[in-house]
Chain A
């Protein structure tokens, strides 16, 4: 049962051209790191630059972009075209459907983001691994939270992609920059806090305490998944005219 759920979910995601296009984002990060390396920078300079690249591009742009596209599609695209009926018309516990779909999306997001961050960090820092590993771990955790939120969002609104992008750009990009008190509800800040705590020299200074960030991140993830399950249990399929 799980095997069938996994294979349908994974193939459905990877079959979408959009998902594959997301690899270009990771490639861009690698390209920037490589070009920077060609300029033969000094060590402190390369750590500073790499830290900024991983935090400001990897965690702040690549991660939410990949997560919003994959997270809102993993259930949402099948709700849109009605094919979700081929999963829901089976005696499969809805919690298992949510768990498997979420897990697959998380792994896909994590791979698409953490791998370029790890490689880009190694290239940019000239082989020093501390920054690369710290931000890769932070991106895996960030992927967990972002994906859970966007999966839930796709079950709340049919405009989840727009709503998710708005959250990333407006809330995380603008509001959290202006009002420090709102940063506790910024997933980007959670990931940055973890990256900052794990990395040594070169890390971008985070605004939140890592422990606080972790607790909020876990709470948000759990709440989002519970919400997603509640919505999926009550989702109504109307047919063609809906």
Chain B
């Protein structure tokens, strides 16, 4: 059973802090690393996979540091986000060469098995240069799996995959996790993480914003305060009517535009129609102001 430990890990590039004081521990099973683009997910994963040195802090796999230790890769498979793979090799040559670099006794058999696992057997004889994004993604996964590692780290593994390939890959990762492997993958898409992982680490602006059971984090995300902007006729009367609603926390009126804050999203959407009627106002537009993933994430950070 493998354990990946991060203790107060930070990493900066010059003056830019990419990862800021991150502490957590992951064990077997699937863990999702969720965060918007540029949050530091790749930096974090590259540190875990031994390609970057932490600027400060301790980062260990089963008690041994990952940085500058090629032996690490006997127990770790890594799927990088970058698309570039040796285009001049066929899929089979790439995976077989990888098996040889791992010093496996039967590299051909190991490559066959890995290609089969990602359903790339049919395309294995074609040059990687001609592969689609999804196929490249899968051949990278096959190469990372070829030595049957107990730890698998994947950076945005579902990028470029069609829905069918995505489901297949999710099944594959689930099956591998069921065998007791530690699987850690990153994504900026909430649904992917929701469907696949038992545990979630949310990283925003280099900091660990939340971690733990996905359902708990999901609840935090839905229960957070929502902000709407409302355009209406007779907006002053509407503002007064809304302030009387228990679901409304605050109303702001500026340049004829109402900004309404609520902790209870469902009640407000039901209450706003009747409130408008009471105030003699017509609703022209009702728009959620902060539904982007980034704002969800930044709420988690502020919390």
Interface residues of A (CB under 8 A from B): 1, 3-5, 7-8, 11-12, 15, 81-83, 85-94, 233-234, 236-241
- Choose one: A3, A89, A92, A233; the contact of B49 (CB below 8 Å): A89
Q: What count of chain B residues pass the 8 Å CB interface test?
A: 38
Asked if B277 is at the interface (CB within 8 A of a chain A CB), the reply is: no
Q: How far is the CB of B230 from chain A (nearest CB, A)?
A: 39
Inter-chain contacts of A4 with B (CB < 8 A): 96-98, 100-101
Q: How far is the CB of B25 from chain A (nearest CB, A)?
A: 23
Q: How far is the CB of A53 from chain B (nearest CB, A)?
A: 35
Question: How many A-B Cβ pairs are below 8 Å?
Answer: 94
Nearest-neighbor residue (CB-CB) of B144 within chain A: A89
Q: Which of A5, A90, A93, A238 has the most CB of B within 10 A?
A: A90
A-B CB contact pairs (8 Å), 19 listed: A1-B101, A4-B98, A4-B101, A8-B86, A11-B86, A81-B84, A86-B94, A86-B143, A89-B51, A90-B73, A90-B101, A91-B71, A91-B101, A91-B102, A92-B101, A233-B68, A236-B53, A237-B46, A237-B80
Inter-chain contacts of B98 with A (CB < 8 A): 4, 86, 90
Inter-chain contacts of B73 with A (CB < 8 A): 89-91
How many angstroms from the CA of A93 to the CA of B71 in the assembled complex? 8
Asked if B274 is at the interface (CB within 8 A of a chain A CB), the reply is: no
Nearest-neighbor residue (CB-CB) of B143 within chain A: A86
How many angstroms from the CA of A8 to the CA of B85 in the assembled complex? 12
How many angstroms from the CA of A237 to the CA of B52 in the assembled complex? 6
How many angstroms from the CA of A11 to the CA of B72 in the assembled complex? 27
Inter-chain contacts of B278 with A (CB < 8 A): none
Inter-chain contacts of B87 with A (CB < 8 A): 15
Asked if B42 is at the interface (CB within 8 A of a chain A CB), the reply is: yes
- Choose one: A5, A11, A85, A239; the contact of B89 (CB below 8 Å): A11
Inter-chain contacts of A82 with B (CB < 8 A): 80, 82, 84
Nearest-neighbor residue (CB-CB) of B41 within chain A: A239
Interface residues of B in 85-107 (CB under 8 A from A): 85-89, 94, 96-98, 100-103
Interface residues of B (CB under 8 A from A): 13, 38, 42-43, 46, 49, 51-53, 68, 70-74, 76-78, 80-82, 84-89, 94, 96-98, 100-103, 143-144, 155
How many angstroms from the CA of A239 to the CA of B143 in the assembled complex? 18
Query: A89-B73, A92-B70, A239-B42 provided; 17 other pairs, C-beta below 8 A?
Result: A5-B101, A8-B89, A8-B97, A11-B88, A81-B84, A82-B80, A83-B86, A85-B80, A88-B51, A89-B51, A90-B98, A92-B101, A234-B68, A236-B51, A237-B51, A238-B46, A239-B155
Q: Is the CB of B86 within 8 A of A240?
A: no
How many angstroms from the CA of A240 to the CA of B80 in the assembled complex? 9
Q: How far is the CB of A148 from chain B (nearest CB, A)?
A: 22
Nearest-neighbor residue (CB-CB) of A16 within chain B: B88
Q: Which of A82, A83, A85, A234 has the most CB of B within 10 A?
A: A85
